[in-house]
Structure 1
Amino acid sequence: MLQPTETEKTELVSAIFGQALAQHANTSKFKSYFRHYVSVVCPASSGDAVIELDTSLLRSHGDVIKYVQFLTKDPALTLDAFVAANASQKSIAVSVREKQHISRVIVEVWFAIDCMAQDYYSPTRQGPSLQQIKWEGNTSFLAFIESSFKAAASQDGHHWPLSKTQIKSLKGWKLVKRYGIKIRGTNNLLEHLDFDTNTMTLKVFHQVSFLRAHLTKTKEQPLDLSFEESIKQGSLPPRLLLETLLTFHDVLFPVASIREKKSRSLLKTLIAKHDFDGEAEWIEFVRATTEDITAFRYWGHRLAALHEIIKRPPPANAMVAWFERHTSERNALTVAIVGLFLSVLFGLLSFIVGLLQLILAWVAYKYPTAS
């Protein structure tokens, strides 16, 4: 499949984000989004060294629009039912590989979620935030989405309010300069704020235009619109989108403040060197909210985990890590007691030596030696 033309880009933006934003389809506003779109839908046309999977079910950009509209009409469709319904219209058989390819393309370009991401993580990296992220054949799309973000959201509706001090400590430039954390962009919303302690890398969902566009599309809807109702409108819950945008612009990169020169400088570097969305440098208010949205429901526990890491930074090198692994609390107490005993002993010896020197000096003064 070739890259979308200007006309096709306009049709895609109209279908994905709404007719009101179609006029911006070929501007810098959606430059980062379409760079990602091309890498997912037609990677071979961008010059990447990849093998593009050929499937008769996904031949054009119009097919992408048609399949997503079909899926959003009924979020309860399973992966198998979704593919079978579209395959039957063309009377063709679809392999498992094709089925996975189609689902990944549709979900990733429309909802910014890699529904096959589980295949790319080793068991050691599949922590709580990276589980349940594969859309299986007999699972409904709605169940997949809800279970995926259940791992990210705090349990039982519990919020994670952050104090102003905690928010200030999580500024991106502080993470980089003080704690040696690398910040890298991700196009997978499920990876937002995921921190890898092995590589000291924090992933940040950087597609700011994508978030703003979907928030504009649903700005008349309740902030706590359900997943089901949101998907039927071709979007994600407004609270999820708004929280993601706020963690970006209010926590990590508060560039709205003229005093935040370091935040702006870091963001410019990430845009220039690591392909962050160029629109992220600018602030655009697309949805007002009257409640304290900083009581983060979806990303609160990841922010809290990141705050714990900077309070107790991991070992600076392999030697320190070895000592930490092989030193129990009991051994540490023993070492402390021995250290205290040795300090007292050496202090006593120093006192005795000093006293002897004083006595010798007095004797030498009292009984001077004849010349």
Structure 2
Amino acid sequence: MSPIPIQDRQKIRRHVLGQEGDFPAYFSFYSDLTQRHSDYHLTIDAPPALLPITSDTILLATNAVRSNVVKTKKEVDKCFRRLLASEPKLGYNEKAVRMAIQAMLMVDPDAKDCHAADFTLGDYRPLSWGSDETLVGFARRLFPLSLSISQEAARVAVEYRALRARKLQRRLGARFRPTNNMAEHLLFDERRNCLYLFHHVAFLKAHLSRYRAEQKPLDVSLEESLGRGTLPPQLLVETLYTLQAVLFPSIDPESAEILDELIDKRGFDPDCAEYEGYGLFQDPPPSFRFVYWGERLAHLHQLMSRRPPRNKLERWFHRHSTEGNALFIALLALAFTILVGIVSIALSCVQIWITWYTWKHAA
């Protein structure tokens, strides 16, 4: 993996992240992204010359995307070509817009093309940005709003601390895997027991800082957010909150230990373990709801509730979990009732025997 030039890093921080910092996980992803698409393409100028795609090309493509979020993919590409006309040193690359969206929004606009036609993961199917579809329309398909019932179920699961990493690991045998595509966050592969997590916390914090600096509310519209080159703050907050408050809270030593191991061995962003807090974004208000990740959180909670314990350790954990306590108390009450009934029957038998014995000897 070739290093990214310092000048390119500075441009990306300023243009995409809006904040200074190292961003090791993000730049590792960015380097891999450019390496995978480092093939050569013809420039739009005549005579044609072979030039590689550069960070300047990607950043120019982000400008085309930001200014055309309500236009189709075809129209965005045309705008990109027009911008390139004033930059003769930059070559046209049909993948530049795709790479710009991945670098800017951390979603894959061609995810469907990278999987088999019948690939599914639960209810999730990879989506691609259609040529006649606007970016806003595509983003709405990627991040549909949860139903109110799912939002409530997710809230209950979070308040009862049922989805901490240690519980998921013990109850479901969950293995945590990083993903660079935010649309795959909180997807659980039941066949492999893998929970995919969007781990780029430094990226989330940088984008949230841009909203906080302007004192923007959580409900900034999708169209306005994309025009800024980012995703809605509600979505960013939910993603950050699920990582640092739901799955790996600092007050849970075992879950925090799991996170440390993921950072060391699985390439998770080191910022995942930085809990410096973000004011409103650290502790959401009482009215806060998981309007984007509610269904996936509710699904995880359902899996935790219905999956039976598989060994002695899981049975012990089940008895000490929220759902397990309720079942344990119910079974204890039933056993106590049966015991009281047996004692009552025994006492009745003794009483009858005493009465009979007294009557027999009195006669």
- Assess same fold via TM > 0.5: yes
Corresponding residue number in structure 2 for 1:148: 142
Distance (Å, rounded) in 2 between the aligned partners of 1:126 and 1:186: 14
Structure 1 residues 95-244: aligned runs within 5 Å = 99=94, 101-122=95-116, 123-125=118-120, 127-131=122-126, 133-150=127-144, 153-155=145-147, 159-160=151-152, 161-163=154-156, 167-219=160-212, 220-244=215-239
Distance (Å, rounded) in 1 between the aligned partners of 2:15 and 2:149: 32
Runs of 4+ in 1 over 4 A off after TM superposition: 88-91, 164-167
Distance (Å, rounded) in 2 between the aligned partners of 1:120 and 1:167: 38
Question: Offset of 1:292 from its aligned partner?
Answer: 2.8
Change (3 A) 1:72 1:281: same
Distance (Å, rounded) in 2 between the aligned partners of 1:268 and 1:293: 32
Question: Offset of 1:297 from its aligned partner?
Answer: 0.8
SS in 1 for 2:40: coil
Question: Offset of 1:83 from its aligned partner?
Answer: 1.6
Distance (Å, rounded) in 2 between the aligned partners of 1:315 and 1:79: 49
Instruction: Check if 1:313 corresponds to 2:312.
Output: no
Q: Which structure 2 residue ranges, 5 or more long, are not aligned? A: 44-51, 86-91, 311-363
Distance (Å, rounded) in 2 between the aligned partners of 1:129 and 1:154: 14
Change (3 A) 1:9 1:172: same
Corresponding residue number in structure 1 for 2:263: 271
Residue by residue over 1:97-149, the C-alpha shift from the partner in whole angstroms, topping out at 9 and shown as x without a partner, is 953x3233111110000111112334141553335x20111111111111211
Corresponding residue number in structure 2 for 1:335: none
Corresponding residue number in structure 1 for 2:16: 16
Change (3 A) 1:272 1:38: same
Distance (Å, rounded) in 1 between the aligned partners of 2:134 and 2:84: 23
Picking from 25, 29, 41, the partner of 1:55 is 41
Residue by residue over 1:205-245, the C-alpha shift from the partner in whole angstroms, topping out at 9 and shown as x without a partner, is 10000000000011121210001001111111001000110
Distance (Å, rounded) in 2 between the aligned partners of 1:128 and 1:310: 18
Percent identity over the alignment is 28
Structure 1 residues 220-369: aligned runs within 5 Å = 220-255=215-250, 257=251, 260-288=252-280, 291-292=285-286, 295-313=289-307
Change (3 A) 1:144 1:172: same
Instruction: Check if 1:34 corresponds to 2:24.
Output: no
Distance (Å, rounded) in 2 between the aligned partners of 1:70 and 1:178: 47
Question: Offset of 1:63 from its aligned partner?
Answer: 1.5
Q: Which structure 1 residue ranges, 5 or more long, are not aligned? A: 44-50, 92-96, 317-371
Tell whether the 8 Å contact from 1:159 to 1:297 is kept in structure 2 after alignment: yes
Change (3 A) 1:157 1:143: farther
Tell whether the 8 Å contact from 1:53 to 1:98 is kept in structure 2 after alignment: no
When normalised by structure 1's length, the TM-score is 0.72
Question: Offset of 1:87 from its aligned partner?
Answer: 2.7
Matching residue's letter, 1:54: Y
SS in 1 for 2:303: helix
Question: Offset of 1:159 from its aligned partner?
Answer: 3.0
Tell whether the 8 Å contact from 2:101 to 2:109 is kept in structure 1 after alignment: yes
Aligned-pair Cα RMSD in Å: 2.7
Question: Offset of 1:276 from its aligned partner?
Answer: 0.2
Change (3 A) 1:140 1:177: same
Tell whether the 8 Å contact from 1:192 to 1:203 is kept in structure 2 after alignment: yes
Distance (Å, rounded) in 1 between the aligned partners of 2:264 and 2:65: 36
Distance (Å, rounded) in 2 between the aligned partners of 1:287 and 1:129: 33
